[in-house]
Amino acid sequence: MINRRTLLGSAAALVAASSLPALAQGEKLKIGFIYVGPVGDGGWTFQHDLARQAVEKEYGDKVETTFIESVPEGADAERALTQLALAGNKMIFATSFGFMDATVNVAKKFPDIKFEHATGYKRSDNLATYDARFYEGRAVIGTIAGRMTKSNKIGYIGSFPIPEVIQGINSAFIHARKVNPNVEMKVVWVYSWFDPAKEADAAAALIAEGVDVFMQHTDSTAPLAKAQEAGVLGFGQASDMASFAPKPRISSIVDNWAPYYIKRVGQALDGTWKSEATWAGIGDGEVVIGEITEAVPAEVKAEAEALKAKIASGEYHPFTGPLKKQDGSDWLADGATATDEELSGLNFYVEGITAPMPK
């Protein structure tokens, strides 16, 4: 790899030439972010940007943050990351799975910069990964959904059949069934993170199937608008979507990256940062259950909050056996819990879900 060595040399020279000296005492820590969508997407990127703002608020003039939004995955991401590195950012957050290989490449070229990649699985000395245990939150809203449905049909609007989304479907279903043994789960995949018209159609398709409570793993409010029209119930996703409360939005599952970002930036400031894989959930405040509205009876709300507390304290794992796979084969023995490795490659439904897994 001759190329890499020369690139390393030249990159270092560039940093020097660009009159951006290394971080000295009392100097600001510059932190860069690249986003896959626009900050105004009201969902995934919006939440990451809120966390960036929280970092600025927490550390005031000790830090300086910048971001590049709507960065396509692939070559453009690598360039955007390098630009951030060359602009003197000493810590860079890459906030989409699709930035993984680009972040790995750029992290190799800039060993002095701390990289953080969301939802990926490749790490190195200066590249950490972080993710949120959304399935913990899904367990809570699944419980609410199981209690609130009158038709015993709950729905799930999936984005892409990737492990994170499949974990959510399984978790929601397991906990809905726990409180309501007659419940059925209907799943619709829209193959997009954000396509309002299609998400609305997906919600309508679920409603036509008899679903009266549904969850979504896509970013727009279109499904909630449909729910409102049809008089069924739903949950906010990624952001709180509070403008649809108290009905149809009866609660929400919010991505809250602020605690993690604040913690990691703090470690970078005091020199204790090191590369690791973080997968935090409700307990760390990374997955937040939004206000459960008055449309939900008090005892259901209490039940959901009790489950939330048990998950938060670590007393209970949402994937605890006995659990079987969709095909009836054994997955987890009584009392056993799923390992993180298993979950991060999850590609099957649990027993009881009748929807086919897309191939």
Partner 1 sequence: MIDPIAVFVLLLGAATPILFAALGELVVERAGVLNLGVEGMMIGGALAGFASAHATGSPALGFVAAAIAGAALSMIFAALTQFLLSNQVATGLALTLFGLGLTAMFGKPFEGVKAPSMMAGPFGLNLMIWLGLLAVPAVWWFLMRSRAGLILRAVGENHDAAHGLGYPVRKVRIAAIAFGGAMAGLGGAYISIATVLQWTEGMTAGAGWIALAIVVFAQWNPWGVLAGAWLFGGVTVLQLRLQAAGVAVPVQLLSMAPYLATIIVLVAISARQKFGRSGAGSTPGSLGQPFHALR
Partner 2 sequence: MFRLEPRASAPLLWQVATPVMAVIATMITGGLLFAALGFDPVASIRTIFWDPLFGPASGYSRPQLLVKAGPLILIASGLALGFRAGIWNIGAEGQYIIGAICGAAVALAAYPHEAFWIFPAMIVAGAVGGWAWGMIPALLRNWFGASEILVSLMLVYVAQKIAAWMAFGPMKNPEGFNFPGSRNLQQYPAASNPELIANTGLHWGGIAALVALVVTWFVMSRHILGFRIRTAGAAPRAARFAGVRPERLVALCLGLSGALAGLAGLFEVAGPAGQITESFGSGYGFTAIIVAFLGRLHPLGILLAGLLMALTYIGGELAQMMLNLPASTVQVFQGMLLFFLLGFDILTRYRIRRRA
How many Å separate Cα 358 from the centre of its chain?
A: 21
Instruction: Return the bridge partners of 116, or none.
Output: 93, 128
- Which of 55, 63, 84, 148 is close enough to bind partner 2 by CB under 8 A? 84
- Which of 53, 56, 64, 83 is close enough to bind partner 2 by CB under 8 A? 83
User: Is residue 17 at the binding interface for partner 2, with CB under 8 A as the rule?
Assistant: yes
Min dist CB 199 to partner 1, Å, is 8
> Hey, which residues between 129 and 168 contact partner 1 (CB under 8 A)?
155
The rounded distance, in Å, linking the Cα atoms of 243 and 51 is 21
The rounded distance, in Å, linking the Cα atoms of 42 and 46 is 5
User: Is residue 70 at the binding interface for partner 2, with CB under 8 A as the rule?
Assistant: yes
User: Is residue 358 at the binding interface for partner 2, with CB under 8 A as the rule?
Assistant: yes
CB under 8 Å to 242, separation ≥6 — which residues?
236, 249, 252, 290, 291
225 contact, one of partner 2, partner 1, none, CB 5-8 Å limit per kind: partner 1
Q: What are the angstrom distances between the C-alpha of 321 and each of 216, 262, 317? A: 25, 35, 10
Q: How many residues bind partner 1 (CB under 8 A)?
A: 39
Cβ nearer to partner 2, comparing 25 with 347: 347
131 contact, one of partner 1, partner 2, none, CB 5-8 Å limit per kind: none
Token readout for 29 is 């820590």
User: Is residue 346 at the binding interface for partner 2, with CB under 8 A as the rule?
Assistant: yes
> Hey, which residues between 105 and 164 contact partner 2 (CB under 8 A)?
105, 121, 160-163
105 contact, one of partner 2, partner 1, none, CB 5-8 Å limit per kind: partner 2
Rg of the chain taking only CA atoms, in angstroms: 22
Which residue stretch of 35-43, 48-56, 288-296, 326-334 sits at the interface with partner 1 (rule: CB under 8 A)? 35-43
355 contact, one of partner 2, partner 1, none, CB 5-8 Å limit per kind: partner 1
Min dist CB 7 to partner 2, Å, is 6
Cβ nearer to partner 2, comparing 187 with 233: 187
User: Is residue 75 at the binding interface for partner 2, with CB under 8 A as the rule?
Assistant: yes
Q: Let me know: does 78 contact 106? Beta carbons within 8 Å.
A: yes
Phi and psi at residue 325, to the nearest 5°? -80, 170
Provide the mask over 213-252, with x wherever binding to partner 1 is found by CB under 8 A and - wherever it is not. -------xxx--xx-x--------------xx--------
> Hey, which residues between 153 and 192 contact partner 2 (CB under 8 A)?
160-163, 191
Which residue stretch of 1-9, 175-183, 254-262, 296-304 sits at the interface with partner 2 (rule: CB under 8 A)? 1-9
- Which of 12, 23, 86, 355 is close enough to bind partner 2 by CB under 8 A? 86
Instruction: Specify the amino acid at residue 326.
Output: Q
- Which of 53, 66, 152, 180 is close enough to bind partner 2 by CB under 8 A? 66
336 contact, one of partner 2, partner 1, none, CB 5-8 Å limit per kind: none
73 contact, one of partner 1, partner 2, none, CB 5-8 Å limit per kind: partner 2
Beta-sheet pairing, 114-118 with 249-255:
unpaired
Which residues bind to partner 1, rule: CB under 8 A? Answer: 38, 40-42, 155, 186-192, 194-198, 200-202, 204-206, 208-209, 211, 220-222, 225-226, 228, 243-244, 354-356, 358-359
